[in-house]
Structure 1
């Protein structure tokens, strides 16, 4: 099997896994989720075909999936069982990356510590608060509580393992205390946590390079090599690049060259790797920050949803002319999105 085929398989794109969204997140380790709606579709397309937006939303509302800043300075979905050990492993590196930006904003250690305490106290009294409501508490405590300052202070409190996502309030996100949302969160010795995160990544994203894992996890090259050593990972060289994987390769399950996937913006299949030789990311897709049309494991265009009075239109822009077979496969992918969204959907192309 080719590397794209194996990645599609291990990421559960060509062979969806459990009906439980949280089990999927646990399999992946963490799933980038800075764009909330598209990130839910990223979970659904890796789940059985009947999985709806409402089912994913329910898992998040019930706290079976949490959304927080971990691995890198961006949002990720994680499970309550994994959130604490994953934060303790990766937060120090994220703090280092954020430090120069915090200094530019005048957010020193004292301000960040005081702000975290204020947020902890506020959530202890009110349980769930929006970011703006937390900001109002900071302002009352004579701390910066607006705009970019607030975003940085909330991220700091997340990385410290004090707050995390709460249930949505309408279309607004809320925060809650991590101790309330994940009371059974595990703590692991650092080596065990490193081995676990390495295992999660390479079993669900492999084959991948050391550079890929360093990029995805935010950890060091030394950490990556140590994690692979502890897991006794296997590697192979392709075109002068060494790829590592965990688990068995499944013979005879190659992806059809005409298989079509409507991947959301920032999907793990595209953003979880530093090296892009086997799955190039066209500048057109990256520059326009659009969802990706993937055919046979390769980016073949972009897509977007257009709201209408009678539902949605999925508009696809291709980088080349599609064959009749590919058009048929695209129609099937659109039908899968229709089941997820549960609204009427039409397709347009350019």
Structure 2
């Protein structure tokens, strides 16, 4: 394989150029998880992977509890299939919780405070109640638990990682929180070595070709656990070497994958965030254009033939969306035509007309 083959294979395995999964739950399950701190962007991450899905379809998948938003990896919000949430949290969050101990001490969040918070919120949410963040904070404040200085969000994150809370349905563009055990009614029950193997296979099948370092970074696993997971499924994967790095991917990659396409990806899409090393798809000289000021906020990207060739932003209006594109280089007429086609798909996703403006 060459670098360009890796990129097209990733587009295929990530369901960007290959639309074999048809529902939000199938799409997310095929990729294990989709990063989701940008709620609107994350919904487009799902929608672009099966043309015809709409923004309201993603909302309905959340309402029907087939997908949920929680913190399984790296302390970062992801969409996961509801059936996978429990085993993934059980496998991945103990290390995150342990790593947060120092920050909890700084915030004076001791075990007694966290346990009291848990008891208060369980009582407040029992019976299927969903509370917005300000309502959660008010309950804590009313019972002598300050939420200022990031204490509140750290309490919520901790309780989500302990499988007490998860996100519910968005309310007036705000996140809500609800009880995990009431929201998740069916779970895949695996743990230990079986869970490591499941995670490894599905990552490399859904994100590959990728390296073991990519897998370690993406999951936040210990190096030894990540290697054990990969070793357990090597016979179900194929590997090859490019530029002195070993890449792993599924064995069912077709001989020919779709090429010569343009895509408008949201800022935190897995195509960018799914790997420790992004240099294959993004020329390092443009890194600051993707993450201005290295502030951790990823701009939406224009991807053409697997390479990032610019950024874009949306301006939402009542009945239309304006898409401004900021290419790194002068675009050919054929590339603009391909981008315009993708822009129209985004408009259909939002049920809005589209205006494209080149900057």
Higher deviation after alignment, 132-141 or 276-285: 276-285
**Structure 1, unaligned runs of 5 or more:** none
> Which of 13, 16, 19 is the equivalent residue of 1:10?
13
Equivalent residue for 1:339?
348
Secondary structure of the corresponding residue to residue 126 of structure 2: helix
| TM-score normalised by length of structure 2 | 0.93
> Which of 264, 282, 291 is the equivalent residue of 1:286?
291
> Which of 304, 310, 323 is the equivalent residue of 2:313?
304
Distance 1:183 1:221 in 2: 33
Higher deviation after alignment, 305-314 or 268-277: 305-314
> Which of 241, 257, 266 is the equivalent residue of 1:237?
241
Q: Do the aligned residues in 2 keep the contact of 1:5 with 1:255 (CA within 8 Å)?
A: yes
The alpha-carbon distance between structure 1 residues 160 and 301, as it changes in their structure 2 partners (threshold 3 A), is same
Secondary structure of the corresponding residue to residue 37 of structure 2: coil
Equivalent residue for 1:19?
22
1:327 aligns with 2:329: no
Structure 1 residue 125: deviation in Å?
A: 5.3
- The Cα offsets for residues 140-183 of structure 1, whole Å up to 9 and x where unpaired, read as 22112346111000000000001111122222211111111112
> Which of 165, 188, 191 is the equivalent residue of 1:189?
191
| TM-score normalised by length of structure 1 | 0.95
Secondary structure of the corresponding residue to residue 73 of structure 2: coil
Higher deviation after alignment, 269-278 or 282-291: 282-291
- The Cα offsets for residues 276-295 of structure 1, whole Å up to 9 and x where unpaired, read as 23222622111173211111
Distance 1:126 1:229 in 2: 42
Secondary structure of the corresponding residue to residue 309 of structure 2: strand
Secondary structure of the corresponding residue to residue 161 of structure 1: coil
Distance 1:12 1:255 in 2: 13
> Which of 202, 205, 219 is the equivalent residue of 2:204?
202
Secondary structure of the corresponding residue to residue 66 of structure 1: strand
Structure 1 residue 310: deviation in Å?
A: 4.9
Q: Do the aligned residues in 1 keep the contact of 2:320 with 2:347 (CA within 8 Å)?
A: no
Q: Do the aligned residues in 2 keep the contact of 1:316 with 1:349 (CA within 8 Å)?
A: yes
Q: Do the aligned residues in 2 keep the contact of 1:61 with 1:168 (CA within 8 Å)?
A: no
Q: Do the aligned residues in 2 keep the contact of 1:293 with 1:300 (CA within 8 Å)?
A: yes
Distance 1:130 1:175 in 2: 6
The alpha-carbon distance between structure 1 residues 147 and 168, as it changes in their structure 2 partners (threshold 3 A), is farther
Q: Do the aligned residues in 1 keep the contact of 2:128 with 2:179 (CA within 8 Å)?
A: no
Structure 1 residue 97: deviation in Å?
A: 3.0
In the TM superposition, 1:213-224 aligns within 5 A as 213-224=215-226
The alpha-carbon distance between structure 1 residues 191 and 60, as it changes in their structure 2 partners (threshold 3 A), is same
Q: Do the aligned residues in 1 keep the contact of 2:263 with 2:342 (CA within 8 Å)?
A: yes
Equivalent residue for 1:102?
104
Equivalent residue for 2:155?
153
**Structure 2, unaligned runs of 5 or more:** none
Secondary structure of the corresponding residue to residue 226 of structure 1: helix
Secondary structure of the corresponding residue to residue 145 of structure 1: coil
Secondary structure of the corresponding residue to residue 301 of structure 2: strand
In the TM superposition, 1:81-100 aligns within 5 A as 81-100=83-102
Q: Do the aligned residues in 1 keep the contact of 2:324 with 2:356 (CA within 8 Å)?
A: yes
Computed over aligned residues only, the root mean square deviation of the Cα atoms, in angstroms, reads 1.5
> Which of 39, 45, 49 is the equivalent residue of 2:48?
45
1:129 aligns with 2:131: yes
